[in-house]
């Protein structure tokens, strides 16, 4: 198996086995870039149970996730196997309430009050 195929299989496995996955620079406890920090912060604040994948720890995954999703930037959020987007998209979806709707549709637990507070603070 080629290295690319192996990385794709590894990424597919992560995405398939976790309801919510954030491919990010750093970890949810210690993000290593502002964009990763913002998305992890939103998920943490909303009480979403998510798996963080530190792309800085693995060059194969760091490049592989960009090819896998055909999306050029990190972080990348997946919900129930579906690519949602990066920082700008997740921020917009949080503020519009679309992220709540997605979590509701996919059966992902989160704190609705916290989501409302984010919207109020950014209104």
Q: Is the dihedral of CA 119, 122, 28, 52 positive or negative?
A: positive
- Phi and psi at residue 53, in whole multiples of 5°? -120, 115
21 close to 54: Cβ distance less than 8 angstroms: no
42 close to 12: Cβ distance less than 8 angstroms: no
HSE, CB side, 13 Å, CA atoms: give it for residue 74: 26
The annotation status of 87 as a binding-site residue, yes or no, is no
Residue numbering of the annotated binding site: 33
Annotated binding-site members for [2Fe-2S] cluster: 33
């Amino acid at each position: 198996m080629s290295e690319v195929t192996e990385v794709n299989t590894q990424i597919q496995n992560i995405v398939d086995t976790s309801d919510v996955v954030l491919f990010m620079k750093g970890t949810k406890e210690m993000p290593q870039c502002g964009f990763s920090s913002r998305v992890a912060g939103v998920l943490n604040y909303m009480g979403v149970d998510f798996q963080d994948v530190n792309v800085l720890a693995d060059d194969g995954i760091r490049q592989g996730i960009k090819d896998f999703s055909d999306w050029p930037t990190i972080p990348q959020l997946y919900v129930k196997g579906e690519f949602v987007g990066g920082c700008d998209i997740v921020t917009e979806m949080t503020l519009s309430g679309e992220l709540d709707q997605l979590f509701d549709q996919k059966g992902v637990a989160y704190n609705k009050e916290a989501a409302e507070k984010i919207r109020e603070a950014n209104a």
